[in-house]
């Protein structure tokens, strides 16, 4: 237990287990506790159904940084220095399945894979644990705060059987509506003791606040989050579900932009992709298509004179060009100075700006742009096969984590192993594409971008 000996940090989840969540964390220097002190004494029904099945050691952990002689050690966060517990099935569980009343809620905007997560959680609860009381909360947190106005759906295997073949969410994902006091009252009134929260960093922050609220009321509820983000900007995890599908759809749109560009003398295809604060979709779609000559991301400021120079050089060399721009890129050129009702910055339309600026520059020279903004098309597509497999893993592990008695946590992959991470950490910021990462460096090189547009020049 030496490696597990700490009362704080990502590896000690005593404050997130229903058997110890009301205790002083300093009382639990070792987590999980020695076997003789553990309170998970219900036998997992899968142990009887599949006698040869392998179950986790409850203390199995993943080390966050697996590199020796790390060239980027100084830039890495130590928030997960304590490692993370694995999030799979254990032989001994906390909850008696006959006592579980579960609910799922999808919050925020749409994302490929929401229906796959709903299907996976429902089927795992039903078939693996024999839990048949499963409610689908509609309209996000609104459905928990005001259930009379947003009736829930009774989920079962027959209802969810084919929903993964569709985009969107059968639960009508919704924004806003979070009210911890009202939601606690709803959970208590309906007898819900297991809640799966599917949404982005804002949703998971609200999930953490709800965890704090139910703990204050001593209301035993396992709250487990499944982080989502098309932009792949959730901290710590390898990738978010839906990202692979979004990149696949975006790469096809880039191909369309390329067809338009190469079919015209001095044609420039401009494709705007999602990515308010992170350039993962733009960079990965550019790499996936191998057709892009310039990729603009939020993490790198650019001067339009450098853009024009690269356009001239590329048209001279190839006769056509494709530019991919993330929606949050180059905001210094289109800043609005406004905030929305949630306090978020209202971004200017960099796609339109690039289209108009390049047309003004190119048309006197006989060139022109072809502008494509796929926008919501990318987030509403059905999920790709690999993404669906990932969703199934996340869904199953979310259920296993809840059945083990954890609460106020999220599940996500680190080094391709699904682990348990406190929701507060997931919601503590947004991940960005590091300009010294191999992904961005490869993107710059594959696109043959000049140094001036790479972000590597120091002021």
Q: Looking at the annotation, which residues are catalytic?
A: 231
**208 contact partners, CB below 8 Å, separation of at least 6:** 408, 422, 423, 424, 427
Q: Distance between CA 258 and CA 347 in Å, rounded?
A: 26
Whether 46 contacts 130, CB under 8 Å: no
Cα–Cα separations (whole angstroms), residue 359 to 72, 96, 290, 364, 397: 41, 65, 24, 9, 50
Helix (H, G, I), strand (E, B) or coil at 130: coil
| CA pair distance 203, 140, nearest whole angstrom | 9
Q: Exposed (0-12), middle (13-18) or buried (19+): which is 97, by Cβ within 10 Å?
A: middle
Rounded distance between C-alpha atoms, residue 76 and residue 307, angstroms: 31
Q: Which of 220, 115, 221 is closest to 168 using CA atoms?
A: 115
CA proximity to 420, closest of 95, 93, 84, 196: 84
With tokens 């078939």, the residue in question is: 127
- Kindly report each contact of residues 349-353 with a partner whose C-beta sits within 8 Å and lies 24 or more positions away, as own/partner: 350/272, 350/296, 350/325, 350/326, 351/270, 351/272, 351/325, 351/327
Give start and end residues of each alpha helix (H) in 151-200: 157-160, 180-190
Determine the Cα–Cα distance for residues 356 and 64; give it in Å rounded to an integer: 45
DSSP-assigned beta bridge partners for residue 269: 322, 370
Q: Do the beta carbons of residue 120 and residue 49 sit within 8 Å? A: no
């Amino acid at each position: 237990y030496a490696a597990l000996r700490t009362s704080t940090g990502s590896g000690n989840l005593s404050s997130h287990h229903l058997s110890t969540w009301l205790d002083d964390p300093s009382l639990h220097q070792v987590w999980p506790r020695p076997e003789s002190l553990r309170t998970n004494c219900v036998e997992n029904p899968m142990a009887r159904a599949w006698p040869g099945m392998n179950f986790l050691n409850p203390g199995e952990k993943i080390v966050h940084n697996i590199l020796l002689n790390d060239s980027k050690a100084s830039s890495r966060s130590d928030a997960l220095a304590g490692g993370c517990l694995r999030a799979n099935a254990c032989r001994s569980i906390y909850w008696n399945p006959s006592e579980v009343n579960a609910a799922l809620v999808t919050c925020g905007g749409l994302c490929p894979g929401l229906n796959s997560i709903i299907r996976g959680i429902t089927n795992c609860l039903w078939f693996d644990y024999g839990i048949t009381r499963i409610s689908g909360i509609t309209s996000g947190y609104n459905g928990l705060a005001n259930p009379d106005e947003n009736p829930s759906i009774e989920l079962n295997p027959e209802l969810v059987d084919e929903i993964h073949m569709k985009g969107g969410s059968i639960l009508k994902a919704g924004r806003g509506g979070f009210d911890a006091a009202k939601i606690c009252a709803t959970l208590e009134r309906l007898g819900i003791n297991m809640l799966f929260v599917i949404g982005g960093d804002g949703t998971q922050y609200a999930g953490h606040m709800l965890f704090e609220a139910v703990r204050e009321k001593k209301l035993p509820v396992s709250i487990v989050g499944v982080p989502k983000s098309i932009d792949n900007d959730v901290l710590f995890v390898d990738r978010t579900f839906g990202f692979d599908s979004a990149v696949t759809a975006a790469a096809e749109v880039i191909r369309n932009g390329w067809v338009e560009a190469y079919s015209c003398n001095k044609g420039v295809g401009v494709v705007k992709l999602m990515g308010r604060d992170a350039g993962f979709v733009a960079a990965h779609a550019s790499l996936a298509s191998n057709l892009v000559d310039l990729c603009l991301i939020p993490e790198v400021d650019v001067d339009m004179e450098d853009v024009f120079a690269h356009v001239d050089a590329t048209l001279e060399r190839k006769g056509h060009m494709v530019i991919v721009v993330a929606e949050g890129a180059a905001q210094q050129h289109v800043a609005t100075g406004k905030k929305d009702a949630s306090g978020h910055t209202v971004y200017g339309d960099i796609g339109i700006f690039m289209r108009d600026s390049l047309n003004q520059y190119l048309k006197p020279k006989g060139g022109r742009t072809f502008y494509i903004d796929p926008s919501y098309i990318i987030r509403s597509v059905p999920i790709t096969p690999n993404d669906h497999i990932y969703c199934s893993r996340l869904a199953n592990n979310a259920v296993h984590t809840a059945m083990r008695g954890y609460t106020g946590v999220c599940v996500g992959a680190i080094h391709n192993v699904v682990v348990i991470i406190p929701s507060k950490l997931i919601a503590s910021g947004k991940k960005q594409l590091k300009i010294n990462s191999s992904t961005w460096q490869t993107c710059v090189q594959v696109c043959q971008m000049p140094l001036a547009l790479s972000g590597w020049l120091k002021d």
